[in-house]
Chain A
């Protein structure tokens, strides 16, 4: 069924333009079938999960090899598209970059005749130029050793160094942190945007002396908790889950975590745009999304997907019904418009706290 649907859709789309039967017979896309396509993503554990959940099936279905590359780097995407020398068939794009990519016209339109997003929630269903692969959340994680009973469950409590003393870690980046600061200062989660920068940075001043590490790489916060370097850290939920599932002494507090969609897109000038659509088509399948989530802890967005996920994992997914309500959606449009200036202000602020 999965294999026939794209075939039919593509054939339908094509017959209007091309009437040559041999081409249709040769494959679902026009032109000679390529030997391989290139899927560019974050690499590491993510590449393994991608292969298991999606790429293996794509190879089996279409007889086209999938080559994995990494990392997902926006600068490189832009350079490729501008130079017209695009190596990536499909690529992951950072959550905060994707809107800029759309604005700068770096991406190809999503073909809804091939990619069926009808089972997706509203936020992910009608995206014209990109594909929401999954949702991820930047959450508060804590050491269960340091807090056997009673851990900080809001950012106000994260800020409360008297009640919960100990070294902490936050990301060396303004996104999320400024939202945390405002929530810690009493701003309601639904009244965050537009961000009151002065108020946010003032609140950041308070916590800065207690931040041992301003993390930069995604694996850092979980490792810092594991090594006992810090007792509280912000971080991406999948990275914590990776260690939690192996019994590491840490846990996730979902309240007031910031949630975003992670994005995939087809670069303008992609060497095989039609096959790119089909690759993303494979990624819409709820069962395959479940396989992916089991591997890495990031859920796909098909609303049926959680049904196919183990109970233990389901609770650790941001989209679980217990969690999604506690999370706050990041306003990516605001960040697209203000990211640059806020980043520079952040850098200056960091210098003061060296």
Chain B
């Protein structure tokens, strides 16, 4: 949620810079919109978690082994998804920059298409690919490479695959935007000054795309933290993320006070990570 805020906020800020004066009035609907849809529910959630008048729910959330473990699991998976997305998205974004317009359009289309498909459909698609009678196993079986189907589904790897598939575009687009702004002369300058390709990349190109890396990573990470459907379906119930537990407390156990506390814990955790990203981004921006 906070990721969306920051994007809207940033767009708004850009507009403020461009349009100067009249923008305060223009941004008012956004502010009201955010207040109603974001600030009020968060405050309500917080009040709910303190309804008992004590910190008991927070004490439980932060001391009970179950919730600490799940929170750490969630963090670990979010981190892995972010790292994997980065390694896949970076070359892809670079390809989109250097490719011929035709290929760039094809690439963009392939990236955007998943946005028009529901997460549920995409998740089921992975089940059809990775299942015991899925495409991969059938192909390997018919080629005689394996005798019995491999267990590719219902483990952490399949959850990671599904989440990376859904979230990678959020990494590609900020990278693409930043890469487009990198002056090609700088790379030529680096080569001309004696840098071999890889050193020019590491010392010049990569640092200059760092703002995009951080923006993409914070988006992917924050969205990962709240992921629900993909881990439930592709994890076979074995991969527990915090959102799954929150849902359980809200709809099954009706313990809204504790659900509120868990949500606040997730929100706080996410905000802490986000502010770290933001600080890094700020120092990057000072350089760039």
Which residues of chain A from 338 to 354 have a CB within 8 Å of any chain B CB? 339-340, 343-344, 347-348, 350-351, 353-354
Do B245 and A347 have beta carbons less than 8 Å apart? yes
How far is A75 from B259 in the complex, measured between Cα atoms in Å? 11
Known contacts A227-B131, A229-B131, A348-B65; A340 and B253 CB within 8 A of each other: yes
CA distance A347 to B258 in the complex (A): 15
Residue of B whose beta carbon sits closest to that of A82: B256
A228 within 8 A of B: yes
A146 to chain B, nearest CB (A): 12
If A74-B251, A74-B252, A340-B253 touch, whether A216 touches B132 (CB-CB below 8 Å) is: no
Known contacts: A216-B232, A351-B66. The answer to whether A75 contacts B237 by CB under 8 A is: no
Task: State whether the Cβ of B27 lies closer than 8 Å to any Cβ in chain A.
Answer: no
Q: Check if A354 sits within 8 Å of B252, measured CB to CB.
A: no
Q: Which one of A75, A216, A227 contacts B250 once the chains associate, using CB atoms below 8 Å?
A: A75
Contact of A351 among B70, B131, B250, B253 (CB under 8 A): B70
Cβ < 8 Å to B, chain A residues 72-109 = 73-76, 78, 97, 100
For residue A172, CB closer than 8 A to chain B, the reply is yes
Which residues of chain B are near A76, meaning CB under 8 Å? Answer: 251
A91-135 Cβ-contact flags toward B at 8 Å (1 or 0): 000000100100000000000000000000000000000000000
- Is A215 on the interface with B (CB-CB < 8 A)? yes
Does any Cβ of A come within 8 Å of B153's Cβ? yes
Bound-state Cα–Cα, A213 to B236, Å: 4
Complex formed: what's the CA distance from A229 to B137 in Å?
A: 12
**Which of B65, B236, B253 interacts with A214 by CB under 8 Å?**
B236
**Given A172-B237, A212-B151, A78:B254 Cβ within 8 A:** yes
Contact of A354 with B240 at beta-carbon distance under 8 Å, contacts A73-B251, A229-B132, A347-B245 already known? yes
Could you say which interface size class chain A belongs to? 20 to 34
Judge if B157 is at the interface, Cβ distance under 8 Å. no
In the complex the two chains form, what is the Cα distance from A220 to B151 in whole Å? Answer: 17
Of residues 105 through 133 on chain B, the ones whose CB sits less than 8 Å from some CB of chain A are 127, 131-133
Contacts of A353 in B (CB 8 A): 238
Structural contact, B237 and A216, CB atoms closer than 8 A? yes
Q: Does B255 contact A (CB under 8 A)?
A: yes
Residues of A within 8 A of B127 (CB): 227
Mark each residue of chain A from 163 to 190: 1 if its CB lies under 8 Å from any CB of chain B, else 0.
0000100001000000000000000000
With an 8 A cutoff between CB atoms, is B14 at the interface?
no
The 8 closest A-B pairs by CB, nearest first: A214-B237, A172-B237, A213-B236, A75-B251, A348-B66, A228-B133, A75-B250, A216-B232
Question: Assuming A214-B236, A227-B133, A339-B253, what are 11 further A-B pairs, CB within 8 angstroms?
Answer: A76-B251, A212-B151, A216-B237, A227-B132, A340-B255, A347-B66, A347-B240, A347-B248, A350-B238, A353-B238, A354-B238
- A-B contacts, 16 of them at CB < 8 A, read A74-B254, A75-B256, A214-B237, A227-B131, A227-B132, A228-B133, A229-B133, A343-B253, A344-B66, A347-B245, A347-B248, A350-B237, A351-B66, A351-B240, A353-B238, A354-B240
